[in-house]
Amino acid sequence: MLELPPNGARVTVAGLVLVRQRPGTAKGVIFITLEDEFGVSNIIVWRAIYERFRRAVIAGRLLRVTGRIQREGGVVHVIAETIEDLSPMLDSLLQPDGT
């Protein structure tokens, strides 16, 4: 679904964290791959955003990310502005009554 918004559009995506990457050559940039029912979203987290949302970036299993679309060479990324950890919602799925 990220193919639809234009470059630079502000979007919100949410999904399960599949991969976190912090390459030594990336100068503090973290790459996160989220999956939802529509597919995968590639998230770029700059150092300042990482410092602000560190706990969610490191430990979150289910994240909601708001940011700007960046299109480059046929690849679509979301440049993160805010990151929310929604992992407690996953825990509620384990409860017999769903709460």
Tokens 């029912």 correspond to 37
Q: Give the pLDDT band of residue 98 (cuts 50, 70, 90).
A: low
The confidence score (pLDDT) of residue 51 equals: 94
**What domains can you pick out in the chain, each with its CATH number?**
10-92 (2.40.50.140)
Q: Tell me how far apart the alpha carbons of residues 40 and 1 are, in angstroms, rounded to a whole number.
A: 9
The confidence score (pLDDT) of residue 3 equals: 80
Summarised one tens digit per residue, pLDDT across range 22-56 is: 888 778 899 999 999 989 999 999 999 999 999 99
CB 83 within 8 A of CB 49: yes
Summarised one tens digit per residue, pLDDT across range 53-80 is: 999 999 999 999 999 999 988 889 999 9
Q: Tell me how far apart the alpha carbons of residues 31 and 20 are, in angstroms, rounded to a whole number.
A: 6
